[in-house]
Amino acid sequence: MTMPSSGSTPFAFPEFRGATRRLILWNLAAYFALALVQMTVPATGGLLALSFAFAPSAFLHGAIWQPLTYSLVHLGILGTLFELLSLWFLAGFIEGAKSESWVTGLYVVSVLGTALAAIVIAVCSRPLGFALAEVPLSGCVGGIFGLLVAIGALYGDVQFTLFPLPIGIKARYLVAVYALVVFAMLFGQQQRMYAFAQLGGGLAGLLYIRLAPHRGLSLGLSERWYGLRNRYYRWKRRRAARKFEVYMRSQGRTVHFDGQGRPIDDDPDDKKRWN
């Protein structure tokens, strides 16, 4: 895989493949499915949108699916178009240097980080004396911000050309400008929870690129799981070996096992070896 260069990058979309394609198609399928339901049964479509969007109070009362489903809820065609084009550009750019599983893990962690930040601000706002009106979250803006932060942290010197203006800007400055815009939204009562949640998505993306395995979160977790499983099996084998040593001594025989629970042949010339 080739690493992005630090030169000027024109406004051109990357190849439509791998994790980028899957993320786009999932969001498109969810958008058209919800739009079809809203067109045929408007009341049911509205209830579905509210059920799958993320509301901290609903999550705390049992709607545990919402942290994953809210990013698939797209309510407006222009907003959806902007989000999916941004997702295509950013995810495809990163996928040119990282694996598919790494990009998918980054996006999912950023989406979950956005939801977690919304929960934190909703729970803490009232005790701190600035109770916020709950605004259900929808769309994949938090995941997109996580991707953008990752580009700024990993490829900060890459320069993008801002479409449609012939102006170039480095990735780190683009992230800083976007973060300042989101931070300014914190001072608006209606957008405060939404803005704080986006910052949470960006922070989650930053933590992911610092802590996640280079080959992807899913692969790293699977390796960790199999490592724990293998250690458990080795412990069982050593335990069984110790019991077998005790049993053989009670039968007048002496056998030995190594630290891995494997038998040690004390007398290679002994033709009466036990099996």
- State how far the Cα of 275 lies from the Cα of 271, in Å rounded to an integer: 11
Average pLDDT on 112-121 reads 92
Average pLDDT on 242-247 reads 73
- State how far the Cα of 81 lies from the Cα of 100, in Å rounded to an integer: 23
- Residue indicated by tokens 């729970």: 123
Highest mean pLDDT among 1-15, 72-86, 255-269: 72-86
Contact status, residue 140 vs residue 87, Cβ threshold 8 Å: yes
Q: What is the pLDDT of residues 61-108, one digit of tens each?
A: 999 999 999 999 998 888 899 999 989 989 999 998 888 889 999 999
> What was the pLDDT predicted at 273?
47
- State how far the Cα of 181 lies from the Cα of 109, in Å rounded to an integer: 22
Contact status, residue 143 vs residue 198, Cβ threshold 8 Å: no
- State how far the Cα of 102 lies from the Cα of 216, in Å rounded to an integer: 4
The letter for the amino acid at 131 is: A
Mean pLDDT score of the chain = 80
Report H helices in the chain. Answer: 18-40, 42-52, 56-60, 66-69, 77-95, 100-125, 141-154, 171-185, 192-211, 217-250
- State how far the Cα of 8 lies from the Cα of 167, in Å rounded to an integer: 10
Residue 166: CB partners within 8 Å, gap ≥ 6?
Answer: none
What is Dmax (Cα atoms) for the chain? 89
Half-sphere exposure of 101 (CA within 13 A, CB side): 11
pTM for this entry: 0.73
Q: What end-to-end distance do the CA atoms of the chain give, in Å?
A: 50
- State how far the Cα of 211 lies from the Cα of 233, in Å rounded to an integer: 28
